[in-house]
Each structure stands twice: as C-alpha cells, then as structure tokens.
Amino acid sequence: MRLRRLLLPATAVAFLTLAAPAVSQTPMDDPLDARDGRRLDRMEKVVRELRAIVYQGRDTGKPVVVQPAETDYQIQEMTRRVNDLEQSLTRLNGQIESLTHDLDQARRAGEAAQAQNKALTDRLTVLEQRAAQAEQPPAAMSDAAAPPPAAAGPSAAEAFAQARKLMLTGDYDTAERAWEDYVSRFGDSPKAPEARYWLGKTLAVRGAHADAAAAYIGAIRGWPQTSWAPDALVDLSRELVALKKPAAACQMLAEFDRRYPKAMPAAKSRAVAVRGQAKCA
C-alpha cells in the first residue's frame, strides 16, 4: 500500500509530463483585438520617429524640428492653400472692379467726344452756310432802279495782285476791303480760297475772330494741298481759341497732323504753340 502511494505521484508526474506538449499545442485566444493592434502599430511608428529624431539631433547637432502628425500637417497645408486661394480671389475681384471702372470711364469719355464732335460739325456747317450766303450776289434790281453800268474793273489777276500788295505794305484796312471785293467778284476763281485765307488774316488783325474763322473755313474747304493751307488751318485753330472754343481748336489741330504731315517746319511750330494755348491732350 505504501508503495502504491509512492508510485502514484510518479505516475501523475509522468501523466502531466506527457500531457504538457498537448496542452502547449492548444492555441490561445489573442487578447488584443484589431483596434488594439492598430494602436500598437501607431505607437511603434511614433517610437521609430522619436528614435530617428534623437539620432538626427545626435548626429547633426542641429535643432530638431518636429513635424506634426501626417494628418494634422495635411489639414494645415490644405488650410494654408485655401487661404492663399481666397487672397488670390480677393485680388482678382479688386482688379476686375478696377477694370470695370476704367471701362466705364472710357465709355463716358467716348460718348462725350462723339457729342463734342457732332457739335463742332454742326458749328462748321453753320459757318459754311453763312460763308455761302455771303458769297451770293445781291438780288438784281429792277431796270427802273438799276444804276448806270459801271466801268469795267480790274481782272481777277489784277485784283488779287493789288490786294496782296496792300497787305505787304501793312495797309490791312484797305487790304480787307480789297479781299472782300475779290471774293465777291471772283468767288469761283481758282484763287478764291487763297483770297479767303488772306481775308481771314486781315480780319484777325482787327480782332474780328468770328469773321476771320468763317473766312478760314471757306479757305480750307475741301482740304486743299497748297503751301498756304496748313497755315490757314493753324490760324483757324487760333481763332477758335480766341472764341473760347479750345475743344474745337484741338480737333482742327488733330486734322492738321493728319491732313498736312509734310507741312513746313514753321507751320508745325505754330501748330504746337496753338495746341499749348488750347491745352490739347
């Protein structure tokens, strides 16, 4: 009996020894679920990053810049880009508003220029009509009241030469009457435009600016390509300045540059002077 009791523990030991491998081979449930596994992976990633930071500081001796977590950094980067886009949009809106304002001003300036051009055209038409009416001969009188026929006067060439001679001597009053007589008698002759040009000069001498402007308009009608035509256009612009019409003068001077690009230097210098008086842009 005692031997059985002594052998029993040995037998139990042997049984446990033989059963141990079987027990150790039995799989155990993993105490970590999937969420804990991800947390563990993140902790390991943080540990690796900290280790890299420590090694970087130790090896380089430079200050270690710790970047935020990847997700936070991306959010901050996206926020910065959104702010940049908002600032760019704000600048673009400001530029668009400025361009719209400039376009409105340009449109208003164009409308004002068109209105001013129409007004100038109307004034020139009225002046031309007045000049045409002045050139018309008076109505014929009845035979009973008609005076006796006068003696034949000088020819067109002689009348032109006489009026020009009076101007050269400085007798502008007599020259004015001579030019008026020439225009009245020989208004359709080839020299009539030039006669009106010289008539405008005599009228300008005594300050008859409106009449002088009308004479110059008659002289440059059709924009003749003669030696005196650029000077006539400059003189017309000067008379318009005297009549307080600087805008009209500036438009005439613009025509001067376009119609007479090969004008003499003296005429161009006078045009520059009158442009300054009119304060042309």
Q: Is residue 75 part of a domain?
A: no
The mean-pLDDT minimum among 92-96, 113-117, 197-201, 209-213 falls in 113-117
Per DSSP, the residues of 88-114 read HHHHHHHHHHHHHHHHHHHHHHHHHHH
pLDDT tens, position by position, 129-170? 665 665 555 544 444 444 444 456 789 999 999 999 999 999
Instruction: End-to-end CA distance of the chain: give it in Å, rounded.
Output: 138
Q: Tell me, what CATH number does 255's domain have? A: 1.25.40.10
For residue 70, pLDDT beyond 70: no
Instruction: Please indicate, yes or no, if residue 137 is contained in any of the structural domains.
Output: no
Distance CA 244, CA 93 (A): 44
Quick one: pLDDT band at residue 67, thresholds 50, 70, 90? low
- Domain extent, residue 213, equals 156-278
Domain total in the chain = 1
Query: 3-state DSSP call for residue 281?
Result: coil
Q: Is residue 15 part of a domain?
A: no
Average pLDDT over residues 255-274: 94
Q: pTM of the entire structure?
A: 0.48
Model pLDDT for residues 44-59, shown as the tens digit of each residue: 887 887 777 777 767 7
Query: What confidence score (pLDDT) does residue 36 get?
Result: 73
Q: What's the whole-number average pLDDT of the chain?
A: 76
Mean pLDDT, residues 69-82 taken together: 74
The three-class DSSP label of residue 176 is helix
How does pLDDT run across 7-43, given as a tens digit for each residue?
Answer: 344 444 333 343 444 444 445 555 556 777 777 887 8
Close Cβ partners of 199 (under 8 Å, ≥ 6 residues apart): 176, 179, 180, 183, 215
pLDDT at position 99 is: 57
Q: Is residue 114 part of a domain?
A: no
Q: Is the pLDDT score of 5 beyond 50?
A: no
In a domain, 129, yes or no: no
